[in-house]
Amino acid sequence: MTDNDTIDVGDADGYQWVRIRGKGSFLTSPQLKGFAEERIEDGKTRFVVDLEACPAMDSTFMGTLAGLAIKLSKVNGGQLELADVSDRNRQSLEDLGLDILIKIDPVEADWRNEMGGIRSRLEPLEGGSEESDARHVLEAHRKLCVVNANNVEKFSTVLDVLEHQAGEN
């Protein structure tokens, strides 16, 4: 991650709140994945990823979100919601079919009127995996293909290259 791309986290009224500040990318996604997996192991099932301060996301980050949503869909009461999604990020998510899997800015969300207070209580995410490798990027892109069959064609060349880099060819 760069100094400009950070993640703040906290527990907010039963939700695990994750605020991305800067680009959601292959550099920030391993840390997001590590945090979420740790919380899910602790029995946490409700997550909000706050994208108010995230101007853009790459496909690896969106694949990481897809993987998290898939994992949570298999847990009783599991859910992933995205907050304050810009038009650009919404379009990217919809282009990959993630709007079917993830609740984007749900109007009925009980946290909607509390975002300012929640954001003020978040702490920087310390530790966790900060290194992205070919296997992580490959896994993220495979999740995108699971979510939407149209993504297989979009990412076929990327998958071939990543499989080679990860030693799967």
- Give the residue from 105, 123, 133, 96 showing the smallest Cα distance to 21: 123
6-12 and 123-124 beta bridge pairing: antiparallel
What was the pLDDT predicted at 82?
98
CB 45 within 8 A of CB 75: yes
- Spacing of C-alpha 44 from chain mean position: 16
pLDDT score of 166: 78
Mean pLDDT by 10 residues, the chain (169 residues): 80 94 94 95 96 97 97 93 97 97 94 93 80 84 95 93 81
pTM above 0.85, yes or no: yes
CATH code given to domain 6-165: 3.30.750.24
Angle (CA) 112-117-120 rounded to 5° is 130
Domain spans in the chain, listed from the N-terminal domain onward: 6-165
**What contacts 80, CB < 8 A, 6 or more positions away?**
47, 48, 49, 65, 68, 69, 72, 101, 102, 103
